[in-house]
């Protein structure tokens, strides 16, 4: 695959508008509270009959301190004793899912997210993994993908050793920016030495992969200052990098109200940061996977993209697209077959449901045949940057050009802008269009107009 990029500032500005990140289609905006839990239970039972492997996601919502930029579902508390009752609820929830599946499903992929997963003590993390192995079959083979998000301020070498012994082979570190002034402005004081110590531990303990998260657009950042962080990260050489655009939405996320708008870089400066960062990373040998994600050429993500088997779901880009995803914990989202279910986002409702012996499903959706068709198209464009019409026609029994006549007319405008090549057989995204892949995918999103009216999404650039 040709992973080259062409930067066209005028096009990026013209196409910059709110849009989904498409970790699912339909997106979570379309989930409804009218969804019945029994529909999801039936989907799990069907998965169990097929003996499908699963991906487990655990949401640990607790954070010791609040990062002002954060838009995650979290509970900021110094009270570590809150963790155990929540862990007990997750263990009960695991038992319910296992019962629905009807057998000890093999866990090919497992991820702990947050919040701060290492808010849990070593004993609690051990309990979580032992319970998971009680109800499911944890697979510690070379093909397993067991990852955890780590706040370096919450993990020492002892914690890293425990995680490796528990079977984790991938870690993701929140760095955001090494600049002390930026860290102070967003209330995340994280000395570089602390981050590098955790990375040194991961290398010494033979973790297979390290991911580093950066955020551009934070207060007091400039292109020059952010590139210093990028250069240091390149020296560290993580296998994967995520470089996210900060979306300042203080009307939705209360902690962001502590960030002064006048301290934010201008839209023009953000573009310069994005352009320079993308150029610096690709020159250093990183492959642009898509939508803010980069990987070294020998990483599993890059290999999967090259082989045409890369997948995207609520955990982002992944190599385990054949797995059903089961989310455990408050706000977690599951995808089993063509059925989506999201747990309650508040702790009180989640606790009440689990303690009553019910799954804590609050919203969900069972995708229609049309949804599944469009989901396939969006996913392949996101992962492959190309789409063969014949392949879609063979799988879904449609005439592509007739079925998507309005969409193809809209894409013809993008073709004139040299974002893509469009003919009677395929769509091929050009280097100029790769950074605007979300816009291209939005063409196939039949819910887009209504969702934009609700202002549910961040801007694509």
> What's the sign of the alpha-carbon dihedral 262, 70, 144, 195?
positive
Residue-level pLDDT at 451: 62
Residue-level pLDDT at 456: 61
> Strand 426-429 relative to strand 361-366: parallel, antiparallel, unpaired?
unpaired
- What is the b/e burial string over 427-439, where b = at least 16 CB atoms within 10 angstroms of the residue's CB? bbbbbbbbbbbbb
The second-level CATH assignment, the architecture, of 1-26+368-461 is Orthogonal Bundle (1.10)
Residues whose CB falls within 8 Å of the CB of residue 421, separated by 6 or more in sequence, listed in order: 415, 427, 428, 430
Token pair of 457, please? 């999404």
Q: Where are the domains of the chain?
A: 1-26+368-461, 30-327
Residues whose CB falls within 8 Å of the CB of residue 27, separated by 6 or more in sequence, listed in order: 20, 447, 451
Token pair of 341, please? 């279910």
> What's the sign of the alpha-carbon dihedral 193, 216, 455, 413?
negative
Residue-level pLDDT at 453: 53
Residue-level pLDDT at 405: 96
- The distance of Cα 92 from the centroid of its chain, to the nearest Å, equals 26
Dist. CA 55–CA 336, nearest whole Å:
10
Topology classification of domain 30-327: pyruvate-formate lyase- activating enzyme (3.80.30)
Question: Average pLDDT of each block of 10 consecutive residues along the chain (461 residues)?
Answer: 76 86 92 97 96 96 91 87 96 98 95 92 97 96 91 93 97 96 96 95 96 96 97 96 91 90 93 94 94 93 92 88 94 96 97 98 97 96 96 97 96 96 96 93 90 63 69
* Nearest by Cα to 186 from 70, 64, 68: 68
If you write DSSP's letter for every residue of 49-98 in order, what string do you get? Answer: HTT--EEEEEEE-EESS--TT--S--EE-S-GGGHHHHHHHHHHHHHHHH
């Amino acid at each position: 695959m040709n992973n080259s990029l062409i930067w066209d500032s005028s096009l990026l500005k013209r196409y910059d508008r709110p849009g989904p990140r498409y970790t699912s289609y339909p997106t979570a905006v379309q989930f409804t509270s009218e969804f019945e839990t029994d529909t999801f239970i039936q989907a799990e039972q069907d998965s169990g009959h097929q003996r499908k492997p699963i991906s487990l996601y655990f949401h640990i919502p607790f954070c010791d301190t609040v990062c002002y930029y954060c838009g995650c579902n979290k509970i900021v508390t110094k009270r570590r004793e809150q963790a155990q009752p929540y862990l007990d609820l997750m263990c009960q929830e695991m038992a319910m899912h296992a019962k629905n599946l009807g057998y000890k499903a093999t866990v090919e992929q497992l991820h702990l997210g947050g919040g701060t997963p290492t808010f849990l003590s070593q004993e609690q993390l051990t309990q979580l993994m032992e319970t998971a192995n009680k109800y499911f079959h944890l697979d510690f083979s070379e093909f397993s993908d067991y990852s955890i998000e780590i706040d370096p301020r919450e993990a020492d070498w002892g914690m890293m050793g425990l995680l490796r012994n528990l079977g984790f082979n991938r870690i993701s570190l929140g760095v955001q920016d090494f600049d002390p002034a930026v860290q102070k402005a967003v209330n995340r004081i994280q000395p570089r030495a602390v981050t590098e110590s955790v990375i040194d531990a991961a290398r010494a303990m033979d973790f297979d992969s390290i991911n580093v998260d950066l955020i551009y657009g934070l207060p007091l950042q400039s292109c020059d200052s952010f590139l210093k962080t990028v250069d240091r990260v390149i020296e560290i050489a993580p296998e994967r990098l995520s470089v996210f655009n900060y979306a300042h939405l203080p009307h939705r996320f209360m902690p962001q109200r502590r960030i002064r708008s006048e301290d934010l870089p201008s839209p023009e400066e953000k573009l310069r940061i994005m352009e320079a960062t993308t150029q610096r990373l690709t020159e250093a040998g990183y492959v642009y996977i898509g939508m803010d994600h980069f990987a070294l050429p020998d990483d599993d993500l890059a290999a999967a993209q090259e082989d045409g088997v890369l997948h995207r779901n609520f955990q982002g880009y992944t190599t385990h697209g054949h797995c059903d995803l089961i989310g455990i914990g408050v706000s977690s989202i599951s995808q089993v077959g063509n059925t989506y279910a999201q747990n309650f986002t508040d702790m009180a409702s989640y606790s009440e449901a689990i303690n009553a012996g019910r799954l804590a499903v609050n919203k969900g959706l069972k995708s229609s045949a049309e949804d599944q068709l469009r989901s396939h198209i969006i996913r392949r464009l996101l992962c492959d940057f190309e789409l063969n019409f014949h392949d879609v026609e063979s799988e879904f029994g449609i005439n592509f050009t007739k079925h998507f006549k309005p969409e193809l007319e809209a894409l013809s405008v993008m073709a004139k802008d040299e974002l893509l090549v469009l003919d009677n057989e395929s769509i091929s995204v050009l280097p100029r269009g790769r950074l605007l892949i979300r816009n291209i995918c939005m063409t196939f999103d039949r819910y887009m107009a209504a969702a934009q009216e609700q202002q549910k999404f961040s801007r694509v650039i």
